Structure 1
Amino acid sequence: MPEILVVDDEKSILESLRDILEDEGYQVRCAETGEETLRILEENSPDLILLDIWLPGMDGLEVLSRIKKVYPHLPVIIISGHGTIEMAVKAVKLGAFDFLEKPLSYDRVVVSVENALRFKALEEENIRLRARLKEPGLTGESPAIREVRTLIARVAPTDATVLIQGESGVGKEVAARMIHRLSHRDRGPFVEVNCAAIPETLIESELFGHEKGAFTGATQARKGKFDQAHGGTLFLDEVGDMSLSAQAKVLRVLQEKRFQRVGGDRLIEVDVRIIAATNKDLKKEIEAGRFREDLYFRLNVVPITIPPLRERPEDIPLLVEEFLDNLSRHSGLGRKTLAPEVLEVLKRYPWPGNVRELKNLIERLVIISLGEEITLNDLPREFLEYAEKVPEEELPPWFVADSFKEARELFEREYLRRKLEEFGGNISRMAEAIGLRRSYLHRKLKALGLSR
């Protein structure tokens, strides 16, 4: 249900607009000054603003200008009792969607609001479509990644709850976004909640929102992530770190499709698809009493496990090329390449940080390498122990000789033998080319048992 903020210093106008809009099924909030409007926007952004020009203190055009700098896609309809063409033109130039004159017509208000919300929805869809074109997928052709992509393609068109498991950095969020992008909810929002990054005391407010005065500091009502994800997908990242009390409320929402904001008693209907992700073993968390078993079964309708990078080294060359291409487009450092031996080192490295670690390394190498090709010398020290060592049997014989004298003799014999072949046995030309006197070279060849 769209939320509309009405700003006017005349209480009769506020009441009139509230009645009109609530009759049309909208949620309505009111403010009487520009300063109050900006405070409300800092805590919770509505879907549309009806803004009077003549306000005490900061006037409506100044408020409009400030709103558009921070919230360029938030539609604002200007209302005024003393409007002029010049004022209307100025308001439109500042970004107003429409300009309504008082006394307000019921039909004119309703039509303008509907058009503004429809325009906002189209604009948001365009933003999502552009974002989808830029979104990465799960890159790789290993059997494990192919299997994951196949499973994603099967589950995405449904509304089934998905639990994505895997180590940190393997691409759990990428998989969640792929599911959303391939679903019938792709026109709706994709809202992410990092359960590990939110303090336990705030997680419920973050998920479900709160009413004004629900706790110290709650000066305004605020929508939660469930509200924001209505009609789309809610991604609960690191769900294993959620508090038990929050788990109980999430379970109730999954069962009943409705919830109450913190400090509120009104039930809010919600239509969201839940995708959860964790790097923890939830079965062990259940045994330890840190995770609810009933929530686990609710989330684990379709489990997807993304393998760590060390188990699919054949995907590393494709990932490297993808990261190098992206960096060449956005970094301004040019398109660099990896020496073959560097790629071999990357395939042997165990990657504790998985794909995220690989991406960060490639960015680092592109920045610090001086040439167009990234070599072993550019790699951090901890990677060099994975450089391939030449087997001892492939080393030249002088490297495995027992003494320096023997090594020198082996080297001299092989070197002079090759030079002798190169110059077709012509000792004079050979001596001149390698910088030795002819008589000395002749004696050396004889001592080493080399004929012409």
Structure 2
Amino acid sequence: MTLSLLVVDDDATVRETLVEYFDTFGWTARGAGTATAGRQMVAEHAPDVVLLDLRLPDADGLRALDALRADDPELAVIVLTGFADVRTAVQAMKHGAADLLEKPVDLEVLTQAVQRAAQRGRMKQELELLRARVRADSADTPQLAPTFDELITLAAQNADAPVLLQGETGTGKGYVARQIHDRSARASAPFVEINCASLSTTFFESELFGHERGAFTDARQAKRGLLEVADDGTVFLDEIAELGAEVQPRLLKVLEERSFRRLGGTTLLRSRARVIVATHQPLADAVADRRFRADLYYRLQVLTLTLPPLRARVEDILPMAQHFLPLGSTLTPAAEAALTAYAWPGNIRELKNTLWRASILARGDAIDVVHLGLPVELPASSRSRTGTTVYTLEEAEREAIRVALSAADGNRSQASRMLGIARSTLLEKLRRYGL
């Protein structure tokens, strides 16, 4: 990979040393001694990566960073400083820095940071081109949802870059993670997953990193973690926003240095696995709330895919429904209309479970509205300007209960099972709605 770099540093020795160093890779490297000169050279030569010193004679480093990114919002800028601290790092990241390294910088670490920043920038450009094409293709069809097939393929081709999957619960993030793995050069290696919200910190670390005998109570023998089990494969970390603060630095080390130690161990192990993470809540919000490390967030967002909710993909509902239907089951026109009118707050997962339950109630016959347990007769005033049915949660809940009771011939216990709630909860709602 041939890269173009610009080193902006008022120290001529540092500047010339870095230019000569990167020239040895066959890369095109240039130097500038001031923020003004650096900004001009960016405009003239459009480098892939800028190395920016925070102390410049004509501008504060962060202001220089703002100016560079104002000219080109996608420009990859790595900040170099001799005064690195947590506050400086957070400020630099907030201002859009791709990375921050402390002087004197380790050249091997710097080289990896440059390659990572350049790769991230190029993938962002490819993603934006794909998204622009999707928007152009969809211009005449307001309800057409973007297809992620090409984006998944792009993620698969860049088989070493971390991937961040965002989207509401049930939108298929686990499926997309598996697709990225299966289409990549790592497909023949293991795909392993772990839910960050389902385990305590100790057990999560044990699952991910492994442990040595005696590392904690009940650790009677050594255990390989998923990073070892995955080998050259993929590790999928679901609900990454729930990752404990104690574990975040260790995951950051894996991403930066590709190494880790088992719990209770002293041997440094190498990790070759790719990391894909998913969350139903924006990680940026967790960073703002100081529940998630900013530096880890920026390591993970090399390639970010946001999966749209099912309500934004109305044309996908019936094809998905046909895919989930058991063999021999069909949908009546009324059932199809109800499926497309419903907002699906639980997304694909709710659609799948609804059809599974409906096929049981229909006993293999055609599935009708009554078998779905969805609200169907909604006020005309609940239609939006786009024609999509919109209704309050209270209206939806009341109608779902009415349909379930009808399908269960008034049997409240059976209706509560169909609705997935306790019988006592159903009785309380019956009283509230006067049913």
Q: TM-score, normalised by structure 2?
A: 0.53
Q: Which residue of 1 aligns with 2:236?
A: 235
1:144 partner SS: coil
The CA distance in 1 between the partners of 2:297 and 2:340, in whole Å, is 35
Q: How does 1:309-328 map to 2 (within 5 A)?
A: 309-324=310-325, 327-328=326-327
Does 1:354 find its partner at 2:332? Answer: no
Q: Distance between the aligned counterparts of 1:268 and 1:370, measured in 2?
A: 54
Contact 1:341 1:387 in 2 (8 A): no
Name the residue aligned to 1:32. none
Instruction: State the partner residue of 1:383.
Output: 375
Following the alignment from structure 1 to structure 2, what is the Cα–Cα distance between the partners of residues 371 and 184? 42
Show the counterpart of 1:200: 201
**1:244 matched residue in structure 2:** 245
Partner Cα distance (1:168, 1:182) in 2: 24
- Secondary structure class of the residue paired with 2:217: coil
Q: 2:308: which partner in 1?
A: 307
Alpha-carbon separation, structure 2, partners of 1:236 and 1:366: 33
What amino acid maps onto 1:286 in structure 2?
A: V
Residues 169 and 357 in structure 1, CA contact (< 8 A), matched pair in contact too: yes
Unaligned runs of 5+ in 2: 1-140, 384-435
Superposed CA offset, 1:178-211 (max 9, x none): 0000000000000001111112232111110000
Give runs of aligned pairs for residues 1-12 of structure 1, distance below 5 A: none
The residue that corresponds to 2:181 in the other structure is: 180
Report the counterpart of residue 282 of structure 1 in structure 2.
283
Segments of 4+ moved more than 4 angstroms: 386-389
CA-CA distance at 1:387 after TM superposition: 9.3
* CA distance in 1: counterparts of 2:265 and 2:161, whole angstroms: 29
Task: Kindly state the Cα deviation for residue 273 of structure 1 after the two structures are TM-superposed.
Answer: 0.5
Specify the code of the residue in structure 1 equivalent to 2:372: L
CA contact (8 A) 2:314 2:340 kept: yes
Question: Is structure 2 residue 335 aligned with structure 1 residue 342?
Answer: yes
Change (3 A) 1:220 1:373: same
Where do 1:3-402 residues align within 5 Å? 143-146=144-147, 148-158=148-158, 159-324=160-325, 327-328=326-327, 335-370=328-363, 372-380=365-373, 382-386=374-378
Cα deviation 1:345-404 (Å, max 9, x = unaligned): 111111110000000000011110146211122231x42335989x9xxxxxxxxxxxxx
User: In the TM superposition, what whole-angstrom CA distance separates every residue of 1:75-97 from its partner, at most 9, and x where no partner exists?
Assistant: xxxxxxxxxxxxxxxxxxxxxxx
Q: Tell me the SS of whatever aligns to 1:202.
A: helix
- Name the aligned partner's letter for residue 375 of structure 2: F
Q: Cα distance, 1:293 vs. partner? A: 0.6
2:156 partner letter: A
Deviation at 1:303, TM superposition (A): 0.4
> C-alpha distance in 1, partners of 2:315/2:244?
39
The whole-number CA distance in structure 2 between the counterparts of 1:377 and 1:279 is 31
Q: Is the 8 A contact 1:208 1:261 kept in 2?
A: yes
Q: Provide, for residues 19-47 of structure 1, a one-character-per-residue CA deviation record: whole Å limited to 9, x for no partner.
A: xxxxxxxxxxxxxxxxxxxxxxxxxxxxx
Q: How many residues align?
A: 240
1:131-172, Cα deviation, whole Å (9 max, x unpaired)? xxxxxxxxxx974341x2111111211121110000000000
The answer to whether the 8 A contact 2:355-2:372 is kept is: no
Q: State the distance in 2 between where 1:387 and 1:359 align.
A: 26
Q: Give the alignment's TM-score, normalised by structure 1.
A: 0.51
1:384 is paired with a residue of what secondary structure? coil
Identity of aligned residues (%): 44
Is the CA contact (8 Å cut-off) linking 1:145 and 1:306 kept in structure 2?
no
Q: Could you list the runs of 5+ residues in structure 1 that have no partner in the other structure? A: 1-140, 329-334, 392-452
Deviations 1:257-282 (A, max 9, x none): 11100000000111011111000121
Provide Cα deviations, 1:235-287, integer angstroms capped at 9, x if missing partner: 01111110011111000011111110000000011101111100012111111
Decide whether aligned partners of structure 1 residues 358 and 386 sit closer, same or farther in structure 2, where only a CA change above 3 A counts. Answer: farther
* 2: CA distance, partners of 1:255 / 1:301: 13
Alignment-derived partner of residue 416 in structure 2: none
Do the aligned partners of 2:162 and 2:301 also contact (CA within 8 Å) in 1? yes
CA RMSD across the alignment: 2.0
Q: Partner residue of 2:101?
A: none
